[in-house]
C-alpha cells in the first residue's frame, strides 16, 4: 500500500515570479538569490524559499528519503491573502491553484493537488472551488482557521461549506499568521502555542455554533492533530452539558462532533497519537509531514511506527486508507 502524506506544502513558481515583478501589489518581496532566497511579507512574516517549495524534483527526492509514495500538496499558508481585496484575492488563488495543477501534472503518480480559495469573498471562494474541481479534479481545499479574525462558524461562510459538502471536497483547516501575537512575541510562541490555540478556538466555534449539525456530510481535516482540542475535549463536552451558552445553537456534544472529523499526525509525540487513535479511530487520522517547514515532522513514517500498541489495521489506515477515502486518491 502506498504511503500518503496529506499535509505537504509547495509554492508554485508562478506566484513567486508575480511577487518578484509586483512586490507592492502582493505586499511581499523575494530577497536573496539561488538557494538563499526568502519570502518577506510586509505584515512581518519571513520564511526561506526552500527548493522543495518550488521544484517538484526536490520534493520527490525528499519524499524518497522519508519513505513517502504520494504527497498531497497545498500552498504555504501565507499565500491565503485574505487581507487583500476581492480582485487580488482571486488573482492569487488562481495563480496558486494553476501552479499547483502544473506541479501535479509533472508527476501525477506522486503528487496530488489541494486548492486555495479567496475566503474574504464567499461567492468568489465558491466559484474558485468549483473551477478547480471541474478543471483539475482537486478533491481538497486548504483554508485558514479564521478569515482575518472572523470565525469560520460565521453565517456568511456557510454557503461555501455547504458547496464543499455537495462537491464531496475535503476542507483542510490550517492556522496562519503574519506577525507576532500579544503575549507570544518571545520564544516562537506565535507558532508553538498560537497555531494550535487558533485551531482549538476554531473548533469550539464550529462545535457550539451548530454548523456541524447543519452540515453532517462536510469533510473536515484539522491540521496539527487538532491543536489542543482532542486533549481538552472532556472540558468542552462538560461545558456543553452544564452551560446553557454552549448548547443554545448546537444539538450534539463536542465529543461526538470531534469523532466526525479527521486529523493529521503532527503531534511529535507518539503517545499523543495513541490517545488520538483511541479517541477518534485510526480511520480518522492521516499521515502529515508539514514539509518543508522546520516545524514539520522530518520522519513521519517513523513517528507512526513508534506509536504504542499500533496494530497493522491502524497503521494501514493512517499511512494509506484514510487519505484514499477522504481525498478520493486512486492509489497506484
Convert the pLDDT of each residue in 11-66 to its tens digit: 999 999 999 999 999 999 999 988 889 999 988 788 899 999 999 999 999 999 99
Written as one string, the DSSP assignment of 34-62 is GGG-EEEETTS-EEE--HHHH-HHHHHHH
φ, ψ for residue 142, nearest 5 deg: -100, 130
Side by side, which strands form the sheet with 70-75? Answer: 4-10, 70-75, 111-113
Residue 178: band (very low, low, confident or very high) from pLDDT cuts 50, 70, 90: low
Cα–Cα distance measured from residue 22 to residue 236, given in angstroms and rounded to the nearest whole number: 46
Q: Is 29 left (phi over 0), alpha (psi -120 to 50) or beta?
A: beta
pLDDT band at residue 182 under the 50/70/90 scheme: confident
CB 141 within 8 A of CB 169: yes
Sign of the Cα torsion 112, 118, 119, 124 reads: negative
Residue 169 pLDDT level (bands cut at 50, 70, 90): very high
Contact 287, 300 (CB under 8 A): yes
pLDDT of 179: 63
Say whether pLDDT at 331 is over 90: no
pLDDT at 177 (0 to 100): 73
Angle ∠(49,53,56) on CA atoms, nearest 5: 140
pLDDT of the residue at 254: 98
Give the residue-averaged pLDDT of 245-273: 97
Cell of 216: 453532517
Model pLDDT, residue 180: 67
Q: Is 231 exposed, middle or buried (0-12, 13-18, 19+ CB in 10 A)?
A: middle
Instruction: Dig out the grid coordinates for 189 from the structure.
Output: 510562541
Mean pLDDT computed over 193-202: 96
Amino acid at each position: 500500500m502506498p504511503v500518503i502524506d496529506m499535509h505537504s506544502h509547495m509554492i508554485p513558481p508562478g506566484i513567486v515570479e508575480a511577487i518578484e515583478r509586483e512586490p507592492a501589489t502582493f505586499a511581499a518581496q523575494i530577497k536573496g538569490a539561488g538557494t538563499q532566497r526568502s519570502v518577506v511579507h510586509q505584515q512581518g512574516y519571513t520564511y526561506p524559499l526552500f527548493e522543495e517549495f518550488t521544484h517538484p524534483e526536490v520534493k520527490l527526492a525528499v519524499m524518497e528519503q522519508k519513505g513517502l509514495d504520494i504527497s498531497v500538496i497545498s500552498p504555504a499558508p501565507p499565500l491565503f491573502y485574505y487581507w487583500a481585496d476581492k480582485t487580488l484575492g482571486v488573482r492569487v488563488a488562481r495563480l496558486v491553484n494553476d501552479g499547483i495543477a502544473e506541479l501535479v501534472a509533472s508527476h501525477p503518480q506522486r503528487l496530488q493537488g489541494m486548492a486555495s480559495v479567496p475566503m474574504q469573498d464567499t461567492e468568489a471562494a465558491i466559484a474558485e472551488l468549483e473551477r478547480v474541481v471541474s478543471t483539475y479534479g482537486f478533491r481538497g481545499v486548504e483554508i485558514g482557521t479564521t478569515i482575518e479574525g472572523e470565525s469560520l462558524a460565521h453565517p456568511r461562510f456557510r454557503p461555501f461549506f455547504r458547496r464543499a459538502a455537495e462537491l464531496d471536497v475535503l476542507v483542510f483547516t490550517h492556522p496562519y499568521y503574519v506577525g507576532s501575537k500579544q503575549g507570544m512575541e518571545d520564544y516562537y510562541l506565535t507558532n508553538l502555542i498560537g497555531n494550535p490555540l487558533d485551531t482549538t478556538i476554531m473548533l469550539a466555534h464550529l462545535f457550539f455554533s451548530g454548523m456541524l449539525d447543519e452540515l453532517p456530510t462536510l469533510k473536515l481535516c484539522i491540521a496539527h492533530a487538532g491543536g489542543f482540542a482532542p486533549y481538552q475535549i472532556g472540558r468542552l463536552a462538560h461545558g456543553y452539558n452544564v452551560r446553557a451558552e454552549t448548547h443554545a445553537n448546537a444539538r450534539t456534544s463536542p465529543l461526538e462532533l470531534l469523532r466526525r472529523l479527521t486529523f493529521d499526525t503532527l503531534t511529535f509525540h507518539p503517545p499523543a497519537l495513541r490517545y488520538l487513535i483511541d479517541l477518534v479511530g485510526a480511520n480518522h487520522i492521516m499521515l502529515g509531514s508539514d514539509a518543508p517547514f522546520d516545524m514539520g515532522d522530518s520522519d513521519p513514517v517513523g513517528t507512526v511506527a513508534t506509536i504504542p500498541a499500533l496494530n497493522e489495521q491502524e497503521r494501514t489506515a493512517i499511512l494509506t486508507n484514510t487519505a484514499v477515502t477522504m481525498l478520493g486518491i486512486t492509489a497506484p
